[in-house]
Amino acid sequence: MPEGLVGIIMGSDSDLPTMSLAAQVLEELDIRYEITIVSAHRTPQRMIQYAHSAASRGIEVIIAGAGGAAHLPGLTAANTILPVIGVPITTRSLCGIDSLYSILPMPVSRPVATMAIGEDGARNAAYLAAQILGLKYSSIQAQLIKQRALSNDVSEIAL
Amino acid sequence: MPEGLVGIIMGSDSDLPTMSLAAQVLEELDIRYEITIVSAHRTPQRMIQYAHSAASRGIEVIIAGAGGAAHLPGLTAANTILPVIGVPITTRSLCGIDSLYSILPMPVSRPVATMAIGEDGARNAAYLAAQILGLKYSSIQAQLIKQRALSNDVSEIAL
Amino acid sequence: MPEGLVGIIMGSDSDLPTMSLAAQVLEELDIRYEITIVSAHRTPQRMIQYAHSAASRGIEVIIAGAGGAAHLPGLTAANTILPVIGVPITTRSLCGIDSLYSILPMPVSRPVATMAIGEDGARNAAYLAAQILGLKYSSIQAQLIKQRALSNDVSEIAL
Amino acid sequence: MPEGLVGIIMGSDSDLPTMSLAAQVLEELDIRYEITIVSAHRTPQRMIQYAHSAASRGIEVIIAGAGGAAHLPGLTAANTILPVIGVPITTRSLCGIDSLYSILPMPVSRPVATMAIGEDGARNAAYLAAQILGLKYSSIQAQLIKQRALSNDVSEIAL
Amino acid sequence: MPEGLVGIIMGSDSDLPTMSLAAQVLEELDIRYEITIVSAHRTPQRMIQYAHSAASRGIEVIIAGAGGAAHLPGLTAANTILPVIGVPITTRSLCGIDSLYSILPMPVSRPVATMAIGEDGARNAAYLAAQILGLKYSSIQAQLIKQRALSNDVSEIAL
Amino acid sequence: MPEGLVGIIMGSDSDLPTMSLAAQVLEELDIRYEITIVSAHRTPQRMIQYAHSAASRGIEVIIAGAGGAAHLPGLTAANTILPVIGVPITTRSLCGIDSLYSILPMPVSRPVATMAIGEDGARNAAYLAAQILGLKYSSIQAQLIKQRALSNDVSEIAL
Amino acid sequence: MPEGLVGIIMGSDSDLPTMSLAAQVLEELDIRYEITIVSAHRTPQRMIQYAHSAASRGIEVIIAGAGGAAHLPGLTAANTILPVIGVPITTRSLCGIDSLYSILPMPVSRPVATMAIGEDGARNAAYLAAQILGLKYSSIQAQLIKQRALSNDVSEIAL
Amino acid sequence: MPEGLVGIIMGSDSDLPTMSLAAQVLEELDIRYEITIVSAHRTPQRMIQYAHSAASRGIEVIIAGAGGAAHLPGLTAANTILPVIGVPITTRSLCGIDSLYSILPMPVSRPVATMAIGEDGARNAAYLAAQILGLKYSSIQAQLIKQRALSNDVSEIAL
């Protein structure tokens, strides 16, 4: 089985511009991933099947993005014991606070690792996935250490 | 098949003190109901099965109460074309605003008829269910008309 | 009397761009409707008369949209025992949260089935109306089942 | 006709503990008032009639308190050209912010003079009513000036 | 002394685009007014002097608009027993909620009649001022009754 | 003139339980202070006089606590060029967010150094005052350094 | 090196009642942990040292709880590439929303896996830590699977 | 050592457009300053070193701007006894309320003098720094008095 496959899911293709930023970070870190559109509301059985079969298909971490009454991350977390990272997508009328409050306060034993609302949240979901995988795969951790050193090497600049 | 069966569901027995107020109103209105604890997070397949089979079991309206990352009403609505009424249960840290925002902003074609947060919301879910059933069952509508007349007969009181 | 007439009302023609989306969904579902501008604030007697006479004129479900101090849905609900669906219109300074809070927390026995803020809320009001009417009119329910099957037939897409 | 009659109205007797504080202030200021329970939701025709007939019955300022989906102040303002002062009653789940947002953002030409949420808001409604009446009745203005002087005569205290 | 002079004040000329809408409504209603820029923060003595001398200069109602830490309406109310109407000006980062919360919760006996945030609030401040003056000046009340009749004469339109 | 006098002001004696915590911290740091009740709303002239004369009376930093429509800190800042530290007092219906928003967003050139809502805010106001005075008075800075060392000497505790 | 050590940190012993719930869940799951009080504000060097040395000391996941201006989780995440799970502690005046907003919106590449506010968040932090460790240690995953099966075995109860 | 050096710091160059407004005000007031980019998250040791060495390098007041999980102001305050002024930078999804809540509620004895969100907050940080320095350097206080007189000399304008 390959190392550290990340499953990125979202409920609708309107979430793709945000969630593809997670994919982009994973590519930069040389981590394999797959992107799937699977809806808690339109294809619930597939969503559950996705969650149930994820581990056996080699997925180790799931990144789930959703907006509004954002049920995908929590429902996925309820159907797998893989770590699930939730990305609250920005919404028009409530700025994504609805998405955040639909993802964050999960019942005990069904956690969702919640990220910031919107694009930075999607990027950080990929970094968190890498950190989790890094515990097991030393090459991923090495990659993260290298990347961290570079990002820290921003010298203090006196303007 | 009997007239106007209402299915009341909730994710945990901690929601029962709130949701039993819906049952109490239905009893006052002589409307049959059943109460079931079925969790979107702990028993997702049963929850989907409940939603799928509700119509064939004679249920005509579903009242679903949930708190926090409140996925039960929306997930039920996604798996039935029966009207689903959502009751946001009060929560400790966010006063039920998390519940409200998890229930209200559903995607297009999967509405949840959302009620106020907490006990009055549960009571009103029963009244709305009765109004819906009243369109089809004249005895229920007659009951509602009688009840409405009584509640309107509070005279203007000069103190 | 015709099948399943839906009454769409709003307080001002500035609400029309939002509320016409409800009409559009009803047309797609072959459900008859009428749209009326009737204001709780400018034409209160007509509003009450509208609510009182709705049932006798064949209306079975009322969809009411309003913004700001949004009194139309609740006032309509107070004057009819037909189910009333409320659509909080987006507002400039408070994003429609004022509309939502004016519609949602109705007193016991006067429920308003509250939808999400703005355009998706208007569309979903029509779907909820269809679900309610579908309990009584099998052709409407058949239409909904067909529509639901189509919207669920969005295959899981591996990108 | 007597001088400066104030009409205090509220939707339910549960609002009385708050609204009676307005009455108490009016008594201290020797201003006549009447208190009436009249509901926008349970007795809408009486509410409209109250508003329509208020001026002819000698009422000059109306103080209206309501909680939750608080429609009474706005609906009263829509049916009279007397000044209407609105008191948002505190609510359990939303702290009275729902009441505030149901009263404040009225459409153009139907203002409600909105007070703070809760008890201090009720007291200040009475003071505002007195200030309004004071423009016309010099004895009321004199009373206010006396009262203001007293309340200002709190000396700067070095502890 | 002339009938019903309204004093419109604001803290800075950046508030003028909003507050001039109040002036415009007063003109439509044939009510005299003056507009003054007087700042609670930059010219506090003038502000207090304005408030103290307003009554003796013939002003009967004061409309005060302010944004951010909006102290002008409350400070004016503290220095006069004329009725003061507050208009919360919209702000960039907090949408005028900061302005609203700086104006609304005044201490007991120093009320500010608070209007909605922004432009409609400014317009309604003028209508409220007219209603207040209408108690004393029958020509103003007649003007309001005429205007109200016109605005109510928007017929129920079947689209 | 003595070293580093701090002026603590508040609008009402109901603020004293909170503001006395600032005094207590100043005592612990051996910094002189005076506490005065002076109201922006009830004694505006005294408040302005307090602010105008503060510097000449030897006051170097002002700590102002207020709740609700909390005008005292901003008004004081507008009438002195001494640094003013604002403490938002907790309120019943809005948890002190009203106080915070009345103090924080001051216009340009009239800053208020805003502290957290409530008791910890009052305590920190005293610490900030000490830090400001410490720039000028080495004994105060020495006292702060000693106090800081002690509070940092909380060893990492393995439980 | 032992399997799956979890480091639980918090800024002050006042956070212990909440954070000990995370420890309790880890014990139930037979996962080793250590609890340390280390403050971003009082002992910053120790905090950084803790984060820097955590991996070499065998820690694989860090759970960090903090309240108010809650800097500990983010600062820890900035100084390690181990996964950091943040628990926003409930606060008196802002209900823990301040804690949540201090932890959630981290800059890109420094994620904190954020949990719900308060006690359930602390419990879920332990479950998420277990899920992360379960990827590497099959005994932990087996334990989680067993625990999940039990918690799912709550039968649908018809009341 | 020169008079009154202000250290302006921010976590990233994306904060520069806001924070340079503080620099501009300091220039207008003839106060020396330095601007440094130093990150609590990317360069924590430099940040701590900056704070520790600030006083010895002649800095007397620190202005720190940060956005999102805004840890820079609080962390700086935890590592110096110089007064630290915090500027919450506006953020896209939460309007800077996240920044505000990350800066304001600091633990006891580690205050941050918090300014308004965004550009005016940055400008006012400079004014507050000047007021603090003015206590010690009479030329700075003279400059402030001159500037204040000018800004107060906006005459009351009758439009």
Contacts 24+ apart (CB under 8 A), E17-23: E18/E65, E18/E87, E18/E89, E18/E90, E18/E118, E18/E119, E18/E122, E19/E63, E19/E65, E19/E87, E19/E122, E21/E119, E21/E122, E21/E123, E21/E126, E22/E63, E22/E65, E22/E87, E22/E122, E22/E123, E22/E125, E22/E126, E22/E129, E23/E126
Neighbours of B20 (CB within 10 A): 15
User: Mind telling me how many Å the CA of G29 is from chain F's nearest CA?
Assistant: 19
Asked if residue E19 has pLDDT above 50, the reply is: yes
Which pLDDT does position D116 carry in this prediction? 98
Q: Which residues of E touch D96 (CB under 8 A)?
A: none
Alpha carbon distance, N-terminus to C-terminus of chain D: 51
Chain D within 8 Å of B147 (Cβ-Cβ)?
no
Q: Which residues of B touch D34 (CB under 8 A)?
A: 158-159
Beta strands in H3-132 (DSSP E): 5-10, 33-37, 59-67, 84-89, 113-114
Q: Which residues 2-61 of F are in CB contact (within 8 Å) with G?
A: none
Contact D69 C105 (CB under 8 A): yes
Contact C75 D44 (CB under 8 A): yes
Which pLDDT does position B152 carry in this prediction? 76
- E46-56: b (≥16 Cβ within 10 Å) or e: bbbebbeebbe
Q: Which residues 61-120 of D are in CB contact (within 8 Å) with F?
A: 90, 95-97, 116-118, 120
Residue of B nearest to C116 (CA): B105
Any idea what DSSP says for residue E14? Answer: G
Of H48, H69, H70, the CB nearest to G44: H48
Where helices occur in D4-137 by DSSP H, the ranges are 16-28, 44-54, 72-78, 97-103, 119-134
Q: Is residue H99 helix, strand or coil?
A: helix
Query: What span, in angstroms and rounded, lies between the C-alpha atoms of F11 and F19?
Result: 11
The first and second tokens of residue B91, run together, are 């929560």
Are chains E and C touching, using the cut-off of 8 Å on CB pairs and a minimum of 3 such pairs? Answer: yes
User: Mind telling me how many Å the CA of F17 is from chain E's nearest CA?
Assistant: 18
Query: What span, in angstroms and rounded, lies between the C-alpha atoms of B18 and B27?
Result: 15
Tell me the sheet residues that pair with F37: D157, F10
The first and second tokens of residue G126, run together, are 């332990």
Question: Is residue D135 a contact partner of residue E136, using CB atoms and an 8 Å limit?
Answer: yes
Q: What are phi and psi of D69, to 5 degrees?
A: -75, 85
Asked if residue B158 has pLDDT above 50, the reply is: no
Identify residue C2 by its one-letter amino acid code.
P
Question: Strand A5-10 vs strand A59-67: parallel, antiparallel, or unpaired?
Answer: parallel
Residue E96, sorted as left (phi over 0), alpha (psi -120 to 50) or beta, turns out to be left
Question: Is residue C32 a contact partner of residue C64, using CB atoms and an 8 Å limit?
Answer: no
The first and second tokens of residue B131, run together, are 């109004």
Which pLDDT does position E159 carry in this prediction? 42
Show Cβ contacts of residue A157 under 8 Å, excluding neighbours closer than 6 positions: H13, H36, H37
Are chains G and H touching, using the cut-off of 8 Å on CB pairs and a minimum of 3 such pairs? Answer: yes
Contact D123 E134 (CB under 8 A): no
Q: Is residue C61 helix, strand or coil?
A: strand
- A5-34: b (≥16 Cβ within 10 Å) or e: bbbbbbbbeebbebbebbbebbeebebebe
Percent of chain G having pLDDT more than 70?
Answer: 94
The first and second tokens of residue C99, run together, are 């509309």
Of H97, H118, H154, the CB nearest to E43: H154
What is the pLDDT of chain E when averaged over all its residues? 93
Q: Which residues of B touch A40 (CB under 8 A)?
A: 71, 74-75, 78
What does the radius of gyration of chain G's CA atoms come to, in whole angstroms?
16
Burial class for G142, CB neighbours closer than 10 Å (0-12, 13-18, 19+): exposed
Specify the length of chain E in residues.
159
Contact B127 C148 (CB under 8 A): no
Asked if residue F158 has pLDDT above 50, the reply is: no
Q: Which residues of F touch D118 (CB under 8 A)?
A: 92-93
Which pLDDT does position F1 carry in this prediction? 45
Question: Is residue H103 a contact partner of residue H115, using CB atoms and an 8 Å limit?
Answer: no
Contact G78 H48 (CB under 8 A): no
Residue E104: name the closest of D120, H155, H43, H56 by CA. Answer: D120
Residue of F nearest to D99 (CA): F93
Mind giving me the DSSP string for C20-54? HHHHHHHHHTT--EEEEE--TTT-HHHHHHHHHHH
Which pLDDT does position E1 carry in this prediction? 45
Mind giving me the DSSP string for G15-37? GHHHHHHHHHHHHHTT--EEEEE
Residue H102: name the closest of G97, A117, A95 by CA. Answer: G97
What is the interface pTM, i.e. ipTM, of the complex?
0.95
Question: Is residue D36 a contact partner of residue D7, using CB atoms and an 8 Å limit?
Answer: yes
Please state the pTM of the whole predicted model. Answer: 0.95
pLDDT (tens digit, 9 = 90+) per residue, F93-152?
A: 899 999 999 999 999 999 999 999 999 999 999 999 999 999 999 999 999 999 998 887
| Mean pLDDT score, E112-141 | 97
Cα–chain center distance at B75: 14
Question: Is residue H41 a contact partner of residue H93, using CB atoms and an 8 Å limit?
Answer: no
Q: Which residues of A touch G85 (CB under 8 A)?
A: 113
Show Cβ contacts of residue E140 under 8 Å, excluding neighbours closer than 6 positions: E3, E4, E29, E30, E31, E130, E133, E134
Any idea what DSSP says for residue G96? Answer: T
The first and second tokens of residue H8, run together, are 């302006």
Which pLDDT does position D156 carry in this prediction? 41
Residue C18: name the closest of B102, G123, A93 by CA. Answer: A93
Q: Which residues of C touch B95 (CB under 8 A)?
A: none
Query: What span, in angstroms and rounded, lies between the C-alpha atoms of B58 and B63?
Result: 14
Which pLDDT does position G153 carry in this prediction? 59
Which of the residues in chain C have pLDDT under 50? 1, 155-159
Contact E104 F91 (CB under 8 A): no
Please tell me which chains touch B, using 3 or more CB pairs under 8 Å as the contact test.
A, C, D, G
Q: Which residues of G touch F103 (CB under 8 A)?
A: none
Residue of A nearest to G140 (CA): A81
Q: Is residue F37 helix, strand or coil?
A: strand
Cα–chain center distance at A157: 34
| Mean pLDDT score, B51-73 | 97
In this prediction, residue B91 has a pLDDT band, given cuts at 50, 70 and 90, of very high
Neighbours of F16 (CB within 10 A): 16
The first and second tokens of residue F61, run together, are 């930093």
Please tell me which chains touch A, using 3 or more CB pairs under 8 Å as the contact test.
B, C, G, H
In this prediction, residue G74 has a pLDDT band, given cuts at 50, 70 and 90, of very high
Any idea what DSSP says for residue A107? Answer: P
Size of interface B-C (CB pairs under 8 A): 108
Q: Which residues of B touch D16 (CB under 8 A)?
A: 159
User: Mind telling me how many Å the CA of H94 is from chain A's nearest CA?
Assistant: 7
Burial class for C138, CB neighbours closer than 10 Å (0-12, 13-18, 19+): exposed
User: Mind telling me how many Å the CA of F15 is from chain E's nearest CA?
Assistant: 13
Query: What span, in angstroms and rounded, lies between the C-alpha atoms of E76 and E63?
Result: 10
Which pLDDT does position C140 carry in this prediction? 97
Of C104, C107, C148, the CB nearest to B114: C104
Which of the residues in chain D have pLDDT under 70? 1-2, 153-159
Question: pLDDT truncated to tens, each residue of chain A (159 aa)?
Answer: 457 799 999 999 999 999 999 999 999 999 999 999 999 999 998 999 999 999 999 999 999 999 999 999 999 999 999 999 999 999 998 999 999 999 999 999 999 999 999 999 999 999 999 999 999 999 999 999 999 988 875 544 434
Query: What span, in angstroms and rounded, lies between the C-alpha atoms of F118 and G91?
Result: 11
SS3 annotation, G32-84:
CEEEEECCCCCCHHHHHHHHHHHCCCCEEEEEEEECCCCCHHHHHHHCCCCCE
SS3 annotation, A2-39:
CCCEEEEEECCHHHHHHHHHHHHHHHHCCCCEEEEECC
Q: Which of E56-65, F37-46, F101-110, G5-14 has the lowest mean pLDDT?
A: F37-46
Which pLDDT does position A4 carry in this prediction? 78
Query: What span, in angstroms and rounded, lies between the C-alpha atoms of E61 and E84?
Result: 6
Of B11, B93, B102, the CB nearest to A69: B102
Asked if residue H100 has pLDDT above 90, the reply is: yes
User: Mind telling me how many Å the CA of C147 is from chain A's nearest CA?
Assistant: 12
Which pLDDT does position H79 carry in this prediction? 95
Residue C112, sorted as left (phi over 0), alpha (psi -120 to 50) or beta, turns out to be beta
At how many degrees (to 10) do helices C16-28 and C119-134 cross? Answer: 40
Question: Is residue D39 a contact partner of residue D11, using CB atoms and an 8 Å limit?
Answer: yes
Residue G79: name the closest of H46, A112, A132 by CA. Answer: H46
Residue F40: name the closest of F95, F102, F131 by CA. Answer: F102
Neighbours of D146 (CB within 10 A): 11
Asked if residue G147 has pLDDT above 50, the reply is: yes
Q: Which residues of B touch D37 (CB under 8 A)?
A: 154, 156-157, 159
Contact E68 F105 (CB under 8 A): yes
Which pLDDT does position B156 carry in this prediction? 41
B136 vs F152: which has the higher pLDDT = B136
Mutate to test the interface with F, among G20, G35, G93 (most CBs of F within 10 A): G93
In this prediction, residue G156 has a pLDDT band, given cuts at 50, 70 and 90, of very low
User: Mind telling me how many Å the CA of C18 is from chain E's nearest CA?
Assistant: 15
Neighbours of D12 (CB within 10 A): 18
Please tell me which chains touch F, using 3 or more CB pairs under 8 Å as the contact test.
D, E, G, H
Of C45, C75, C104, the CB nearest to D40: C75
Are chains C and G touching, using the cut-off of 8 Å on CB pairs and a minimum of 3 such pairs? Answer: no
